[in-house]
Chain A
């Protein structure tokens, strides 16, 4: 018993959400061979869609012939031709229902031309669901497997079932998440683009009407609508390209405080018009700190203009921009506002591409692009927000001078 506890402990050390199932099963097979003193261990997993058991691993004690078992007997990859035949007309699900350990000596010898003194087979069950089957073959001493061996194998198989089942569930969730995120992005982008398309159709409609009525003013009005919306479309397309391009940032010594001042100047007029004050709290920061100035300018422009927008929606407010250096050569930039805030349900989505709550005022690309640029810097971006109180973004950037 002590032995199996040790073996299980070793096994559990090798399992994590990113391990490969094959590696785990192989490791498991060797542990079983060692613990039960068996000659051979094979592992089959149950395939729901085909209602079949398929061998994944077969290991011999002496040689590491793991996969060669399957190569030697390609016809038994489908385990039903081995275990099931041996088990005499038992259907696959019955493995899940009952405890099976037979002496299948004769059948094995006939089928595989392996001299078998004893065979022990147990199902891998996770909450009553059949995950697979483990079977071991022969003891070197030609003894049959004992009741203790059966219990040991069951412990191994239960553990393996949980691990494999978790792995399968993890893969399923991961796939679903990814798929629904993609679908949502497409849906969001379709909406933004359809609005632009609608406006362009509107422009064309007014141009046509103006032309029919020989009303030059109408023609101009429609034409302006079309032009305005081509500009919007161009911005979206360029942002999509920026987002998807695997371009590496150009790190060089840059002045973060100057960038903050430039952006504040740039947005000043718009801020004042919306009764918003932008306040800068700039620490003394070395101008040798390295990052991509164009990229970071872009990020801060996005964050600060969002902050101004959030305050403007509340009828006015204040945006604080703070810079400071932290230990370990890390630069921290904080953008906080006392604007309308972001709702709890929207907060997890703000960095999703094409996600926007700003209607015609947003493209859903600003924060997605911002996040990507920060990621490219190996930096972090964090957000906290309370509805009607305000929002705070904190960016940290490592000094990227060694990443040439």
Chain B
């Protein structure tokens, strides 16, 4: 019997979480954990050690980039692959193109997906993480 993979979804929009959950359910039977802001996301990432984190960039309080850096700085979470989600031009003065993202995060995250989410794009990104 194979082990169920777990995915942590961090997004402050409950409906956006539902959307992501619905898409993931199509791929496989995952263990889905959710968090509505950055600090909850980090706490859950540390305690559950998920196989993948899907992280929204625009979060109240601590934004997705800060969360990303925190996660990379912690031993428990530094190797967990992360897919980032966001609308366009999300933060004052910063336009979030994929190239710009790299400046912030090195060559990570695994994938950067723009909202509104295209289910196929997310499916492809998740599959690529688990096929590695």
Contacts and interface: CB of A to CB of B under 8 A. Distances in A.
Interface of A: 184, 187, 190-191, 194-195, 197-203, 205-206, 209, 221, 225, 228-229, 313, 349, 357-361
A194 B118 CA distance: 13
Nearest to A349: B92
User: Taking chain A's interface residues, is the majority helix, strand, or loop, or is none over half, making it mixed?
Assistant: helix
Interface centre among A197, A198, A358 (most CB of B within 10 A): A198
Contacts of A228: 15
B22 A202 contact: yes
A313 B39 CA distance: 13
Interface stretch (B27-35, B68-76, B83-91, B99-107): B83-91
A235 to B, nearest CB: 15
Given A198-B13, A198-B87, A360-B12, 18 more contacts: A187-B95, A191-B87, A198-B15, A198-B117, A199-B13, A202-B20, A205-B22, A206-B19, A209-B22, A221-B18, A225-B18, A313-B60, A359-B12, A359-B13, A359-B37, A359-B58, A360-B16, A360-B60
B13 A360 contact: yes
Nearest to B17: A202
B88 A190 contact: yes
Contact of A194 (B19, B26, B87): B87
B87 A202 contact: no
B60 A199 contact: no
A350 to B, nearest CB: 12
A195 B88 contact: no
Contacts of A221: 18
B46 to A, nearest CB: 21
A304 to B, nearest CB: 19
Contacts of A205: 19, 22-23, 119
B18 A198 contact: no
Nearest to B94: A187
A164 to B, nearest CB: 32
A199 B115 CA distance: 9
A260 B119 CA distance: 47
A229 B88 CA distance: 19
B34 to A, nearest CB: 13
Contacts of B23: 205
B18 A184 contact: no
Nearest to A358: B60
Nearest to B20: A202
Contacts of B20: 202
Given A191-B88, A205-B119, A198 B22 contact: no
Nearest to A345: B92
A215 to B, nearest CB: 12
Contacts of A187: 88-89, 95
Contact of A195 (B89, B92, B115): B115
Contacts of B18: 202, 206, 221, 225
A229 B15 contact: yes
A225 B61 CA distance: 25
A209 B21 CA distance: 12
A198 B60 contact: no
Contacts of A209: 22, 26
Contacts of B115: 194-195, 197-198
A191 B89 contact: yes
A234 to B, nearest CB: 16
Given A195-B16, A360-B13, A201 B116 contact: yes
Contact of A357 (B60, B95, B116): B60
